[in-house]
Structure 1
Amino acid sequence: MRIAALLLAAGTGRRYGAATPKQFIALGRRPVIRHAAEALLPHVALLQPVGDAALLDPALHGLSSSSPDAAPVLASIPGGPTRQASVHAGLEALDALPADLRPTHVLVHDGARPYVPAALIARVIAALSEHDGAIPGIAVADTLKRTRDSLIVETVDRHALFRAQTPQGFRFELLRDLHRQAAANPGSELTDDAALLEHAGHTVALVPGSEDNIKLTYEEDLVRLERLIGPALLPRTGTGFDVHAFEEGRALILCGITVPFERGLAGHSDADVGIHALCDAIYGALAEGDIGRHFPPSENTWKDADSARFLVHAGERIAARGGMLVNADVTLICERPKIGPHATAMRERLAALLGVELDRISVKATTTERLGFTGRGEGIAAQASATVLVP
């Protein structure tokens, strides 16, 4: 069984009422749809996003490289004017893949459902071994009323009624063919894909859903989701230290800023001691080694490299792990040059490279009272700390 997932993100979320489509609203500092994608990836071979690439690509950036075992995230494709049209577009994109990549089964999931328990996805997939389709559902527990002009006209029997959820799973070729038939014979729009199979006489299994599999529809739903998502982020702190000797004939680069001075620092790259220490702090917080592991000084690729590239990579590693930078603090240790006049520019540069607010970045300096190699003016040292939140 080779499974692909369609991640739908073409809706505008009119009922939610925000300027940004609801699937791209921040939830725990990450877009809602990124949570949905991360829930699907361990269970599928391919993930096909459907929607506006200008919104989807930044929201899903880095997912493919977040783990060696992560499923490939395909290039986003535009959706249609309706949910049904968007699913059809996604199915045709999967059908256009080379035969060895084409799926045998497909999951269809709403990008506005960010919290999907792994056991729920596993139940849907297990049911596909025996049925043409399978969907998760929750039994209706409340009394149902039918109204007319705000007056109750009937109490509806809730027996055997369920609230349908996603991801919904199907045999790929069957769902593709049914969508092609529906597109060739336009009529009433269906609100889910199981209805296509039902109308065509195919069996669709119902497996237990989850009350936590909330679809973000109204503002109050976001509060409930934040309660579910929030506790999963745990604080982790890393520290870094680096030192470089002065060298004649080089520019002095500190925390991404060129500082006027008669000497620069010796090193394989541009020897930005502040950024190097900060990278080590971030990698340490993520338990991903140090800067030398990611950018070995033995490789000529990094000869005289701009250390800004290293810090951008460290920030991308936070994002790939589904985390966020809480704060970073860099201390430069030297007698000269004076750091104070450049500290604000350094903070701004570091914040820009990491894509965070300025108030999360601190840069300061101290001396060693003329003791040691920094006191003798032989070089500059730096120490840094970084705190991140990760699942």
Structure 2
Amino acid sequence: MRLAVVIPAAGSSARMQAGMNKVFIEIAGKPILIHTLENIAKCEYVGTVFVVVGAQDVEPTKELLQKYQDTFPEIAWQVLAGGSERQYSVFSALKLLKPNITHVAVHDGARPFITKEIFSQCIAVAQVTNAAIVAVPCKDTIKRVQEQFVDSTLERNGLYAAQTPQVFTKELLLQAYEQAKKDGFLGTDDASLVERLGVRVAVVNGESRNFKITTPDDLIVAQAFMQEKSAQTICPVARVGQGYDVHALVPGRELILGGVKIPYEFGLAGHSDADVLLHAIKDAILGACALGDIGDHFPDTSEQYKDVSSLYLLKCVHKIISQAGYQVCNVDALVMAEQPKLAPYKQMMRANIAQALQIDIDFVNIKATTTEKLGFVGRREGMAAQAVATVLKK
């Protein structure tokens, strides 16, 4: 698949009443057009983008895109002068498509809240159906009005408000535009031209936030959305994971907890060093990141992990989640053991864990308890550990 994206942005922006092309208005410190391009650039299929603006805006747009090129380095963009109507602007870009382009997506320059997920879904559907658009069900009752009086009320069920992107095979969209030109037909979106050919257009459910910024009121809403997004970036939502592990106590093994060797007549049985505390902590961290468990990453069927240090594996877990874009916030863990007394070793455990996870020791807490001689722990047959970890996306 070879996808080109056409961004029509040559309108007069009269309803915005800003005295300039609305795509150049800044929200959250960047022009609307840049927000739009940054979101489109997140889609893996996008390679070539045609930005179509008024003739007077061609050079300023080139300068703007050059300024922000580092934010979408994979995009090869081209700025064109558009026509008096959106349809003419899009057609001018279609004529410049290279032979290797297979599909075309058209997306309004003033829709800066399109998500990668919806854009990619629309592309995927178009690959199967040849024509797909993003749309949302109408929430309001729709009236047909003539001369300021209601002529009829449309059945709302089944009515959708079209959005962009709208994605088509190159040949189909070119045929639709050429036929519209021949017939002198002027449509309000790309799909209306394709529909005239008798082609069925698939619909991908969009989002109300993917609205087109058109009026000053829209600008207020857009600024509020951007502020909300910025707040989420500054104060991201924490993710929480829990871990639990049990190991039997056996003679002839060293007792290692939290990476600390503790004098005791028994040790914990296991494929690795059987550090029950660190096993629970590792599972909690992996769980918070939705990255499985320690058995997935360090299977006990592998000789590579025979008698391996669990403290070393904790460092490996830290590397795994870091590569996935997460960082540990804090760890709270509990060791259940009837003997020996663990209080003298808790500080060393905290230090080991903090160092392995590259966090301050104040964000690591270790507790120890007995089970009042109840159960396998009370009978000193084994030890258990529970842990809770919180992580944040970097």
Task: Give TM-score, length-normalised by structure 1.
Answer: 0.55
How far does residue 23 in structure 1 lie from its aligned partner after superposition? 1.4
* 8 Å contact kept, 1:36–1:115: yes
Residues 285-296 of structure 1 aligned to structure 2 (within 5 Å): none
1:170 is matched with which residue? 168
1:201 is matched with which residue? 198
1:188 is matched with which residue? 185
Corresponding residue to 1:179 among 177, 180, 191: 177
- Matched residue SS, 1:165: strand
1:152 is matched with which residue? 150
* 8 Å contact kept, 1:134–1:170: yes
CA distance in 1, matches of 2:194, 2:67: 35
Q: Kindly name which structure, 1 or 2, has the bigger radius of gyration based on alpha carbons.
A: 2
Q: Structure 1: which 5+ runs fail to align?
A: 237-390
- Matched residue SS, 1:134: strand
Q: Which amino acid aligns with 1:45?
A: G
Residues 221-300 of structure 1 aligned to structure 2 (within 5 Å): 221-233=218-230
How far does residue 192 in structure 1 lie from its aligned partner after superposition? 0.5
Q: Which amino acid aligns with 1:71?
A: I
1:288 is matched with which residue? none
1:306 is matched with which residue? none
1:211 is matched with which residue? 208
How far does residue 62 in structure 1 lie from its aligned partner after superposition? 3.9
Describe the superposition over 1:130-176 as per-residue Cα deviations: whole angstroms up to 9, x where unpaired: 11210011111211222233222322211211000001100012212
1:72 is matched with which residue? 76
CA 54–197 in structure 1, closer or farther in 2 if over 3 Å, else same: same
Corresponding residue to 2:63 among 51, 55, 58: 58
How far does residue 57 in structure 1 lie from its aligned partner after superposition? 1.6
- Matched residue SS, 1:45: strand
* 8 Å contact kept, 2:180–2:186: no
Answer yes or no: is 1:116 the counterpart of 2:114: yes
Query: Sequence identity, in percent?
Result: 33
Describe the superposition over 1:94-125 as per-residue Cα deviations: whole angstroms up to 9, x where unpaired: 2xx3x4xx321111011111111221101101
Describe the superposition over 1:185-209 as per-residue Cα deviations: whole angstroms up to 9, x where unpaired: 1523101111111110112100101
Q: Which amino acid aligns with 1:200?
A: L
1:33 is matched with which residue? 33
1:13 is matched with which residue? 13
CA 149–177 in structure 1, closer or farther in 2 if over 3 Å, else same: closer
How far does residue 230 in structure 1 lie from its aligned partner after superposition? 2.3
CA distance in 1, matches of 2:219, 2:154: 29
CA distance in 2, matches of 1:11, 1:58: 19
User: Please, what is the CA RMSD of the aligned residues?
Assistant: 2.0
2:343 is matched with which residue? none
* 8 Å contact kept, 2:176–2:196: no
Corresponding residue to 1:128 among 117, 126, 129: 126
Corresponding residue to 2:86 among 83, 92, 101: 83
CA distance in 2, matches of 1:3, 1:210: 23
How far does residue 235 in structure 1 lie from its aligned partner after superposition? 6.8
Q: Which amino acid aligns with 1:41?
A: A
* 8 Å contact kept, 1:6–1:49: yes
CA distance in 2, matches of 1:80, 1:67: 27
Q: Which amino acid aligns with 2:201?
A: V
Describe the superposition over 1:66-94 as per-residue Cα deviations: whole angstroms up to 9, x where unpaired: 356x2222x21111111111110011122
CA distance in 2, matches of 1:10, 1:48: 12
